[in-house]
A and B are shown apart, each in its own frame.
Chain A
């Protein structure tokens, strides 16, 4: 059974703190790793799609790294802001087709002003 684990489950930080979360996935049959941000009552919003070992992607204060050989990805948020509060999901593509996405349960981030 393919499993995607995210840690921590939840995280509370103060505004201005930098933080990071982990996504662990099987190291075999890797095609892509997706990160999404999901704010309450909104749709999941794509942050990054990563396909190559060693990939690093950046979008503003948010960045992500990928290690396909050991099966993990880190998401970093620099200088967290209250508007960063959301659940961050990762999804592992193991078969190429978009029907082969396995999601983690997410990391719920709360940023206090």
Chain B
């Protein structure tokens, strides 16, 4: 138990569906992240939020829409996805996401397996 909880753990959705992934952290952290893990690829950063403000968008297509209502919750809204978006989506948090945080540990959730059909 890392203190970062993701739901659902598995999601199957059609290309015209709208769904959301949810992440909650109980660590009192101020930065939250979405990562994507595709088959045979390294973990890839998607978004970073610091104190609820988005500070990084790693050229992610607009069919992925993040939302961070407070420092403890992060959502990833999914709309008109493609089969190639099927992957494991990991949420993470850390104390800060700012440059002074380079030595800080990032804590990950167990991920949400997404299959787009």
Question: Which A residues lie at the B interface, using CB under 8 A?
Answer: 4, 31-32, 34, 36, 41-46, 49, 51, 89, 91, 93, 95-99, 101-106
Contacts and interface: CB of A to CB of B under 8 A. Distances in A.
Contact of B108 (A44, A97, A105, A106): A44
Contacts, number: 77
A60 B92 CA distance: 25
A96 B55 CA distance: 13
B66 interface: no
Contacts of B48: 97-99
Nearest to B4: A43
Contact of B101 (A41, A91, A98): A98
A98 B108 contact: no
Contacts of B85: none
A101 B42 contact: no
A97 B110 contact: no
